[in-house]
A and B are shown apart, each in its own frame.
Chain A
C-alpha cells in the first residue's frame, strides 16, 4: 500500500523507531524510494543500536538494493556498513585477504542464480532427460554446498544463501503441477535438499528461500523486466524491499536482543468484544465474521509458539470470566497450558509485565506486548521502553497478519530444546498452581512433592546422550559444583573409559517430562576410593529434591562397586553460590585440603540415605544389567 503525504508526515513526526517500524509493518506500507530515503534519515537521527556490517557476493547486479537495505536496516536501528564484491566474482572472495574478509562482515549475503550451479538450468526443465535429472540435482547441490563451505571456512559472521527464482511461470504453464516432468516440483526438490544439507552440514549459514518472498509480493510485482534486461537487476522496488527486510530480519535475530516472550491482551485481541460485558456467547470468536479473524490470529500465535516463543496472557478482567473462555469456549484455541504466565487482574499493565518478567526470569527487553488499546500501548511504551509494543489493528481483518512482519520474531534455527522450553514453562505454572492449592488446604511441601508423582530415571554411561551431556556441562552455571566444561569428545572418552562412571538423570511427573537434566561424573581413584569430578543439574528441576535423590542413587551404585570413600569439591564461580553448601548438607565432611569426603558405609548421613526417603520413584542404574 502506498503511503499518502499525510500519513508520511505523521510517520516523520514519530520519535520512536519501534513505533514507526510497527506501523509500517502493520499496515503493509510500501514507501517510495524518496520516502525511504527521508525515513532512513529520520530513523538515524533517533539513534542506532549498533552497526551491522554486511558483505554482498553476487552474480547479478546488487548495488541497486542499497537504498532499500539502508532503509530496512535503519528500521531495525542498525547503522549499515556495506560492501559489494566485484561483479561476477564468487569463490574468489572466499579467501582470507579478499575485500570481503577485510570488510569483516556480520552477515555475508550470497546472491546466486541456478545457472551458477549447473549449466543444465540454462534450458527449460522439460528439455532435460528424466534419467539425467537426479545427477544434475546432486551436482547442483554439491556445487552450492562447496561454494558456501569455502565462504564458511574463510569468512566470519553469518552467511545467507539465496538462489534467484524463475522470473516467469513454469514452462508447462498451468499443467506444470500435474506433469511428469514438472519444473516446479523438480526445483522445489532441489531447493529442499540444499536447505536441509545446509542445516545439517554447515553452521552459521541460513538458506533464504526467495520463492517465499515471491509468493508474498506476487511474481508480477516482485520482478522488473526492464531493469533485468537493461541492468541485470531482477527486482522491482517491492521485490528489493522484501529481500532487504528478510536479510535485516536475519541480522536482527542474530544481533539484537532476542525476543522470547509474547504477552497478549484478551478482549479485542484474542476475540472481538469484551468478555466482562458481552459474555461467553457474545464475544466474536468462531466461524462467522468477524470471529474467524480472531480464530486465525490465535492460530498465528500458536505458530509463533512453535517457533520457540513463550506466550503469556495479560488482561484486565475478572479471572473467572476469562477462565470460562479458556476452558469452555468451543472456538478458543489458546488454552491455559499454552500460556507460560497469566495476569488477569485490574493492575496497571506495566506492573503486570514486570511481574511476568520476574516469574519467568527473563528480561523485559525480550518482551513483545500485543494489545488493542491506545492507553495500554502508550502506558507500556512510556514506562517500559525496552518492551516492543505492537498495537492490534482496529479492523479485525487486519489482525491475523499483525505480527507477520516483525523482524524480531524471525528465527534462524529451531532445536528440540526451544520447543521444550515453552512446554516446560507451562508445566511449571501448573505445578505452581497445584502447590498453591495444596498449601491453601494446609498441605506441606512434602505433600506437594508427593502429589507430583515424580519418577527419576538414572542412566549410566549412555553413549546415545553424549551431545546433551556435553551441552549440560557447557550451559549449566548455577547448580554446578565444579563448572568443568566438556566437549562431546571428552564425554565419549569418559563413557568408554573403565576409570569413569558417567551418570545422568531425567525426571518425569504428572505434568510432563524434563528430558535429561542432571549429570554426575565419578572417577575411580583407587581400589575403594572415587572422586566426584562433576555434579550438576539444570535449573528447570530445582526445588524438587531431585539432586538429593540423584546423589543417593549414584552413591548406591558406587557401593555396589565396592567404593567406600567418595571425595568431592566445590569450586566457587560468580554464578554457583546456590550449591555452596550442597556437599556439607548432604553428608560430606571437609577434608582439610578445601575438599570434601564422605564414607559410603555411613547410611545415617545424607549421601548414603536410602532412596525411599525421597518423594521420587527412582529407576536405574542399580537394577540395570550394568551391575
Chain B
C-alpha cells in the first residue's frame, strides 16, 4: 500500500469520514471535521501506524496531506 493510501485510511478513520473525503492535496482548512481535536487524533493514529514519536511542536505544521506526506518521507529517510 502506498504511503498516501495508508494515510488516507488513517485520516478517514480518525475523522470518521469516508476514505475518498481525504485527497492528496487536502488541507485542514477545507475539511470541517479536521479541527484541533481531529488533528490530535490524526497525530496519535500516525504515531501508532508508523511507529513514530512525534514532537508536539511539529503538530501545528502538519496541517495538510502534502505536509504530512513530506514529514513521513523525511522520517523514513532518517
Q: Taking beta carbons and an 8 Å cutoff, which residues of A are in contact with B?
A: 32-34, 37-38, 63-64, 67, 226-227, 229-231, 233, 237
Contacts and interface: CB of A to CB of B under 8 A. Distances in A.
Given A32-B48, A33-B14, 9 more contacts: A32-B45, A33-B41, A37-B13, A64-B37, A64-B41, A227-B56, A229-B56, A230-B56, A231-B40
Contacts of B14: 33-34, 37, 67
Interface string B2-26: 0000000110011010000000000
A324 to B, nearest CB: 52
B59 interface: yes
Contacts of A231: 36, 40
A234 to B, nearest CB: 13
A38 B56 contact: no
A229 B59 CA distance: 13
A107 B54 CA distance: 35
Given A33-B14, A34-B13, A230-B56, A67 B41 contact: yes
A229 B56 CA distance: 9
A231 B14 CA distance: 17
Contact of A34 (B37, B40, B48): B48
B40 A233 contact: yes
Interface string B39-54: 0110011001100001
A226 B56 contact: yes
Nearest to A37: B13
Contact of A33 (B13, B55, B59): B13
A188 to B, nearest CB: 32
B15 to A, nearest CB: 10
8 contacts: A32-B48, A32-B49, A33-B14, A34-B9, A34-B49, A37-B13, A64-B41, A231-B36
Contact of B48 (A63, A227, A237): A237
A13 to B, nearest CB: 19
Contacts of B59: 230
A33 B10 CA distance: 9
B7 to A, nearest CB: 11
B18 to A, nearest CB: 12
A16 B59 CA distance: 39
User: For the complex, would chain A's binding face be called helix, strand, loop or mixed by DSSP majority?
Assistant: helix
Contacts of B16: 37
Contacts of B37: 63-64
Contacts of A37: 13-14, 16
A230 B48 CA distance: 19
Contacts of B44: 33, 237
Contacts of B40: 64, 227, 231, 233
A33 B11 CA distance: 11
Of B37, B48, B59, chain A has the most CB atoms within 10 Å of the CB of B48
Of A63, A226, A230, A231, chain B has the most CB atoms within 10 Å of the CB of A226
Nearest to A70: B16
Contacts of A233: 40
Contacts of A32: 45, 48-49
B22 to A, nearest CB: 13
Of B13, B16, B41, chain A has the most CB atoms within 10 Å of the CB of B13
The 3 closest A-B pairs by CB, nearest first: A32-B48, A226-B56, A33-B45
B50 to A, nearest CB: 11
A33 B45 CA distance: 5
A231 B56 CA distance: 10
Given A64-B40, A233-B40, A34 B56 contact: no
A38 B10 CA distance: 11
B61 to A, nearest CB: 13
Nearest to B14: A33
A228 B44 CA distance: 13
Contact of A38 (B13, B48, B49, B55): B13
Contacts of A64: 37, 40-41
B58 to A, nearest CB: 10
A237 B44 CA distance: 8
Contacts of B36: 231
B35 to A, nearest CB: 10
A63 B38 CA distance: 10
A204 B37 CA distance: 32
A179 to B, nearest CB: 34
Contacts of A230: 56, 59
Of A34, A67, A229, A237, chain B has the most CB atoms within 10 Å of the CB of A34
Contacts of A63: 37
B39 to A, nearest CB: 9
A67 B42 CA distance: 12
Nearest to B37: A63
Contacts of B9: 34
Nearest to A63: B37
A230 B9 CA distance: 25
A227 B41 CA distance: 11
A160 B36 CA distance: 28
A226 B57 CA distance: 9
B9 to A, nearest CB: 7
Contacts of A34: 9-10, 13-14, 45, 48-49
A417 B30 CA distance: 60
Contacts of A38: 13
Of B40, B44, B45, B54, chain A has the most CB atoms within 10 Å of the CB of B44
B36 to A, nearest CB: 8
A233 B59 CA distance: 15
Contacts of B56: 226-227, 229-230
Nearest to B57: A230
A229 B57 CA distance: 11
Of A33, A37, A227, chain B has the most CB atoms within 10 Å of the CB of A33
Nearest to A228: B56
A233 B9 CA distance: 25
A80 to B, nearest CB: 13
A230 B58 CA distance: 11
A64 B49 CA distance: 18
B41 to A, nearest CB: 6
A32 B48 CA distance: 6
A457 B26 CA distance: 80
Nearest to A41: B13
A110 to B, nearest CB: 21
A233 B43 CA distance: 14
